[in-house]
Structure formats: C-alpha cells, structure tokens
Structure 1
Amino acid sequence: MNQKYQVLQALAESKVVAVIRGESAEEATALSRAAIEGGIRAIELTYTTPHVADVFRALESENVLLGAGSVLDAETARHALLAGARFIVSPYFQEEVAVLCNRYGVPYLPGCMTIREMVRALEAGCDVLKLFPANSFEPSFIRSVNGPLPHVKVMPTGGIHLGNMKDWLDAGAVAVGIGSDLNKAYRSGGHAAVVALSQNYTRKSVE
C-alpha cells in the first residue's frame, strides 16, 4: 500500500479529525495535545492559526496523523507539506492544490457542496471530499450523493457535535471533522475539559 492510501486508511480508522484553530500557536499546540491525550488520532492544523508551522514542529514527535486545513493555494499547500502535513484540506476545490498533492502522493480533501463540485474534484484525483459546511445538510445527503456517485467518500465538517456525529458515520461518512466544540471546551475548562470531550468523541465513534 502506498503512502497516500496509508494516510487515507488512517483517516478512515480514526473516524474523528480534530480541526484545530488557535488564536496563537501556543493555544493550538495546547488544544492539539489535549485532543491527542483524549484519544483523537488525526489532527488538522488550520492555516488561520498564526505561526502554524510552530505547531507542526511542536507536535512532530506525537503519535498522531497531522494534516493542514484552510489551505487556499498551492504555495500554502507546499509550505504545509514541508512543515510535516500528511494530508491537505481546503474549504473549496482548488485545482493547483490538487496538482501539487498528486505530484507528491498526498491526499487532498477539498470542500464540496454540489454534485458538479464533487465530480470536478474526483476527476482531479481527490479520494475523500469534505462536505462543508455540513450543518447545511442532513446525514441522508451522503446516501443521495452515493446514488449517482457510489464511489464518493465524504468527510462532513462544520456543525458536527456529539449529538449528530454517529448519524453522519452511520450514513456513510468516512470520518467527521470537529472543531468549535474543542475551542469552547478549552476556553471554559482548559486542558482537562478538552481531554474529556475528546474521550467522549472517541468513545462515540466506536459505538
């Protein structure tokens, strides 16, 4: 199995991807470490976080799959790969990012909302598509998409929480992206609150 599909398999096995947005590199690092302690095995470090490369360096020794999110162009994608990202995520499909990721055998998960966008991303070599924002859809949307496009794999992100994540997974989501819950937990209860919430997500994903 090549490196790209090893990463895709790891994402599918993790079921939960923590989307980390920090107001600083220090906050993002602390959030990530708490999520990892709580059992989450896949972390998406967003490029909206200041000095995000420092977060990649801080986490490079952790036994976790690191990816980059909020990637808007090929230059940022290349920076992320050099920083240690093993998958790239963006809020919409960007052809130049797809070309770069294909060149280096790295999974690219672009945000898609329509069948047209999904087909375009598939034709560009994307294996998993991010449904974003997922709170604009119902979990049954995946089955509707899989009618005409049975091979499409979807990772819903945006509006995913403990109350609906299992619905999405049961509907066929390859994994779910969570984020705002972690930030709220961190700001209200710090490290321990994020660890506890991450444990709940991890348990829920295997029920």
Structure 2
Amino acid sequence: MPHHRPQPSQTLLAHPVIAVLRASHAREYAPVIEALIAGGVRSIELTLTTEGVFQEIAELKTRFADAAEIGVGTVTDAEQAQRALDAGADYLVTPVTVPEVIRAAVNRGVPVFPGAYSPTEMHTAWSLGATAVKLFPASVVGPGYIGQVHGPFPGLPIIPSGGVSIQDVPKWLQAGALAVSLGGPLLGDAFKGGDLSALTERAAEVTRLVGNVRDRTVDA
C-alpha cells in the first residue's frame, strides 16, 4: 500500500458533487461553470473528450480559484496525466484503471479517482494509491452495490458515476458514497443553448438534497 495516498480535498468533502462537463470546445465551459457554482456545485471535471482542455484550464483555474476546484477527467494514459498535472489540475479522473495514471497523480500528491467496476479493479486501484474509486457505470448496479463492496473493503471510498440521476443522489450518499459524479442529468442542454438559470436551479436542487442527507445523518 502507498505511504502517501492523496486525500480528498476539503472542497469535495464539504460539497460531495462532481459536475462532469463535456462540450465541443473548452471555450464553452466558463458560463456553465459559473451557473454550477451559483447553485452550490464546487467540483468541476473537465473531460478530455472536449477539445481545448489543456489550453483553457489555466485560465479557468485562475477565474474560479476562490469558488471551485477544477479537475481533468477521461484521462486514459500517462502522457495525458502528466499534461493535466502540469496544467494544474486539482484532481484526475479516469474511466478505467490505468496504473500509470494513478502513479503519476500519487507521485505529485494530487487526488485521483480511477474508474473501476469489479471488486478486483477497485482493489487494484486502491492498492496503487487511488484517493477514491469511481464506480463506473454506476447505474448498472445501483446504490446497493456499495454495501456489497464495503463488506470485504469497508474503508474503500467510492464515487458513483455514469447514469446517476439528481433524485438518486441521496440514495448513493446514504449507501456510503464519498461523493457523486453527475453528467447529463445535471448539465442537461447547457452546452446546446439551454437556459443556464435552469442549470443553476438543478445544481441548487442537488445541493439541497445533499444537505438533507447530511441533516438526517446529524439528527440520527
């Protein structure tokens, strides 16, 4: 086991929602990020399936430095990982378990959330030093899967991603998820000319649901 596993940021622990952004070009990101922040979402994942992420990330980090953390997602090889880290990514996310990507982040002390589906993949990622494991695609198995995994691996932090709806957020958090990752259900048509005030409302709804779960936990 690694001696210096990067820990989740205080931002993610306080606001356990990651917004996954996919657009035709990273130039489209800024107003959408503003709308998400206005609704209380503080962790933003810029996916490498979007053109221009490496060119835009420094400016986005400067612009939103006091309001959100900016990570890079869909990282699939060591070169992409190093470029993202050099660009100042606050964390890395992968769709699959790639040991070289995990090691690159661990060596730099940057949180990394590798994608995994089976218990074997999850344990492999955790053993390499992952901060948490991204359960992907989460909608295929549902929140009960976390409890099953936590049987043999009670200390393994899990972030569900892929097909997670806004209304499912409480179920995942109550099941023991460290955070939830939301793409289409949260972003909707924001990158297709949609109403950004509606995006802020959806983000605020997610924030409210998270707060309700935490209030119930405290009351219990």
If the TM-score is normalised by the length of the shorter chain, which range does it land in? over 0.9
The one-letter amino acid of 2:19's match is A
Q: Does structure 2 retain, via aligned residues, the 8 Å contact 1:28–1:55?
A: no
Tell me the CA shift for residue 70 of structure 1.
Answer: 0.2
* 1:144-163 pair list within 5 angstroms: 144-163=148-167
* 1:2-41 pair list within 5 angstroms: 4-5=6-7, 7-41=8-42
The one-letter amino acid of 1:27's match is E
- In structure 1, what is the equivalent of residue 181 of structure 2? 177
Cα distance change of structure 1 residues 121 and 3 upon mapping to structure 2, 3 Å threshold: closer
Identical counterparts, % of pairs: 36
The one-letter amino acid of 2:96's match is Y
Tell me the CA shift for residue 33 of structure 1.
Answer: 1.9
Post-superposition CA distance 1:114-140 (Å, at most 9, x none): 111111111101130000011111101
Cα distance change of structure 1 residues 36 and 54 upon mapping to structure 2, 3 Å threshold: farther
* 1:187-198 pair list within 5 angstroms: 187=192, 189-198=194-203
Following the alignment from structure 2 to structure 1, what is the Cα–Cα distance between the partners of residues 131 and 23?
28
Following the alignment from structure 1 to structure 2, what is the Cα–Cα distance between the partners of residues 81 and 154?
22
- In structure 1, what is the equivalent of residue 218 of structure 2? none
Q: Which runs of 5+ in 1 are unaligned?
A: none
Provide the TM-score with structure 1 as the length reference: 0.92
The one-letter amino acid of 2:41's match is I
* 1:47-58 pair list within 5 angstroms: 47-58=48-59
For this pair of structures, how many residues does the alignment match? Answer: 205
The one-letter amino acid of 2:33's match is S
Task: Say if 2:104 is the partner of 1:108.
Answer: no
Q: Which runs of 5+ in 2 are unaligned?
A: 213-220
Tell me the CA shift for residue 157 of structure 1.
Answer: 0.6
Q: Does structure 2 retain, via aligned residues, the 8 Å contact 1:89–1:109?
A: yes
Post-superposition CA distance 1:49-82 (Å, at most 9, x none): 1101243133223121111100001111111112
Following the alignment from structure 2 to structure 1, what is the Cα–Cα distance between the partners of residues 49 and 81?
13
Q: 2:73 aligns with which of 69, 87, 102?
A: 69
The one-letter amino acid of 1:196's match is E
The one-letter amino acid of 2:6's match is K
- In structure 2, what is the equivalent of residue 141 of structure 1? 145
Following the alignment from structure 1 to structure 2, what is the Cα–Cα distance between the partners of residues 102 and 31?
30
Provide the TM-score with structure 2 as the length reference: 0.87
Q: Does structure 2 retain, via aligned residues, the 8 Å contact 1:185–1:193?
A: no
- RMSD (Å), alpha carbons: 1.7
Tell me the CA shift for residue 181 of structure 1.
Answer: 2.2
The one-letter amino acid of 1:192's match is S
Q: Does structure 1 retain, via aligned residues, the 8 Å contact 2:6–2:129?
A: no
Task: Say if 2:211 is the partner of 1:206.
Answer: yes
The one-letter amino acid of 1:76's match is Q
Tell me the CA shift for residue 3 of structure 1.
Answer: 10
Q: 2:101 aligns with which of 92, 97, 101?
A: 97
The one-letter amino acid of 2:34's match is R
